[in-house]
Amino acid sequence: MASAAAPTTAVPTVVPPLEQLRRLAVELRLLLPGLRVGEARETTKEFNPETFWRKLNEAAVNVAREATTLTEVFSRVPLPSPQETKRFCEQVHAAIKTITAVYYSLPKDQGITLRKLVRNATLDIVDGMAQLVDVLFITPGQSPDNSDLISYNSVWTACQQVPRIPKDNKAAALSMLTKSVDLVKDAHEEMEQAVEECDPYCGLLNDTEDNSDSQGDEEDDRLGCPNNRDLYWSEEDQELIIPCLALVRASKACLKKIRISVAENGKKDQVAQLDDIVDISDEISPSVDDLALSIYPPMCHLTVRINSAKLVSVLKKALEIAKASHVTPQPEDSWIPLLINAVDHCMNRIKELTQNELELMHSGSNRVLFTPRQAGKRTEKEQR
């Protein structure tokens, strides 16, 4: 009688160390879409700010530690064994899952602006770790003096930023408003510098060499390359730039006054109003950028008019939201009407200077277009 066959035991598959790194990078990147949506997870526990920030800081420290360990063991030979690699990868994945779980525990009622800052910090950490793992997978066993050290530094820097995150929605709002003020200030300074130098492109394009050969100019025109008319402002352009600069200055003044009002009168528990102020204020800098870009030659006056009107609309909405909120305890406060008047004055001047082009556009659009056959019939009637 034949003896029964002994049961075969499954031999566990040994995954090579580098393949484990590749899979880890993929797993980390799969976390990013969910983080960008950033929905808070429902919980019955009462939110404790002190506990949240302590856990977030501890999680960031742990991620930095795991990034250091991973960089050290995969930047020398021999590489870790598959079993050791598995342990390292599991520790990295656990550290990343921990910090994302802490972020998800931050409820919306603490403020959307605050959650955005925590979300962005968490995204930087997860993305930085994924990049580090990618680099270690591509260039294993190399000294951490090149790209893997740079990637490690990006993770470490992102973790270092966590303790610097504002701890409440008012502080977060002030941080965002300060950033918006700085962006508009930079745009205004760039515009002023270009106007003062009368060189919109600050010498990036050298006309002297281009103009040395008239035949070359003609060829450039045929090819659509910029010529002098495209590189410099006409007198009409320069006249239009003046109220545009004034409008950008008014934008900077609006943001500064709103920021001061939030600093002096903002209340931490009025999270929704603070979020509304930040949301509309965030639209000012991109609108300023659109206007600033449209003043560069060749300037289209109608585009300048449209972008100015968009900026004015955003500014007025921001001032109205600030006026209706708790940060302006006296709605009749003089600074809001003064800024609205300043914005209106700039826009009215821009309308005056672009009115001719607007009328030309309207008159052109109102012309009756005839087909060749219709034009022939019309000529016959006129001859009769």
- pLDDT tens-place string over residues 331-367: 666 899 999 999 999 999 999 999 987 777 777 655 5
Dmax over Cα atoms in the chain, in whole Å? 122
Range(s) of the chain covered by CATH 1.20.1410.10: 174-199+233-362
What length is written for the chain? 384
Distance of alpha carbon 220 from alpha carbon 32, whole angstroms = 47
Residue 151 backbone phi and psi in degrees, to 5: -65, -40
The span from the CA of 236 to the CA of 304, in Å, is: 13
pLDDT of 375 reads 43
- Decide which of 123 and 15 is more confident: 123
Domain 174-199+233-362, classified CATH 1.20.1410.10, yes or no: yes
Rounded mean pLDDT of 103-130?
96
Residues of the chain with CATH 1.20.1420.10: 17-165
Mean pLDDT is lowest, of 211-220, 322-331, 336-345, for 211-220
Q: Are 262 and 274 spatial neighbours (Cβ–Cβ below 8 Å)?
A: yes
Lowest mean pLDDT among 93-97, 146-150, 166-170, 181-185: 146-150
Q: What is the pLDDT of residues 154-205, one digit of tens each?
A: 899 999 999 999 999 999 999 999 999 999 999 999 999 988 876 565 544 4
Confidence of residue 224 (pLDDT cuts 50, 70, 90): very low
Looking at residue 139, its pLDDT comes to 78
Q: Is the dihedral of CA 197, 201, 206, 211 positive or negative?
A: negative
CA dist., res. 72 & res. 145, Å (int): 11
Name the pLDDT band for 226 (thresholds 50, 70, 90): very low
Statement: 17-165 belongs to CATH 1.20.1420.10: yes
The residue that leads in pLDDT, 141 or 362, is 362
Extract the tokens encoding 33.
């879409």
3-class SS of residue 234: coil
- Residue whose pair of structure tokens reads 């525990």 in the numeric block: 105
Q: Is residue 255 a contact partner of residue 181, using CB atoms and an 8 Å limit? A: yes
Tokens of 68: 């250091």
Token match 């600030």: residue?
Answer: 322
Residues 289, 187: contact at Cβ < 8 Å?
yes
pLDDT tens sequence across 17-69:
999 999 999 999 999 999 998 777 767 688 999 999 999 999 999 999 999 99
Q: Which band of pLDDT confidence, cut at 50, 70 and 90, is reported for residue 377?
A: very low
199 or 293: which carries more pLDDT confidence? 293
- Distance of alpha carbon 261 from alpha carbon 263, whole angstroms: 5
The Cα–Cα gap between 255 and 232 comes to 31
pLDDT at 380: 47
Interacting residues of 131 by C-beta distance below 8 A, sequence separation 6+ = 151, 154, 155
- Dihedral of the alpha carbons of 51, 56, 59, 63, in degrees to the nearest 10: -170
pLDDT band at 151 (very low <50, low <70, confident <90, very high): low
* Per-residue model confidence as pLDDT tens digits over 234-284: 999 999 999 999 999 999 999 999 999 999 999 999 999 999 999 999 999
Which residues lie closer than 8 Å to 137 by C-beta, 6 or more apart? 18, 21, 22, 25
Environment class of 92 (CB within 10 Å of its CB; exposed 0-12, middle 13-18, buried 19+): buried
Give burial (CB, 10 Å; 0-12/13-18/19+) of 2: exposed
Identify whether the C-beta of residue 173 lies closer than 8 Å to the C-beta of residue 262.
yes
162 secondary structure, DSSP code = G
pLDDT at 217 over 90: no
What is the rounded distance in angstroms from the CA atom of residue 20 to the CA atom of residue 9?
A: 24
Helix axes 147-161, 112-138, angle to 10 degrees: 160
Is the N-terminal amide bond of 78 cis, ω within 30° of 0? yes
- 71-80, 157-166, 199-208, 323-332, range with the lowest pLDDT: 199-208
Cβ contacts of residue 14 below 8 Å, gap of 6+? 82
Q: Cβ–Cβ contacts within 10 Å for residue 56, how many?
A: 22
User: DSSP assignment, residue 140?
Assistant: T
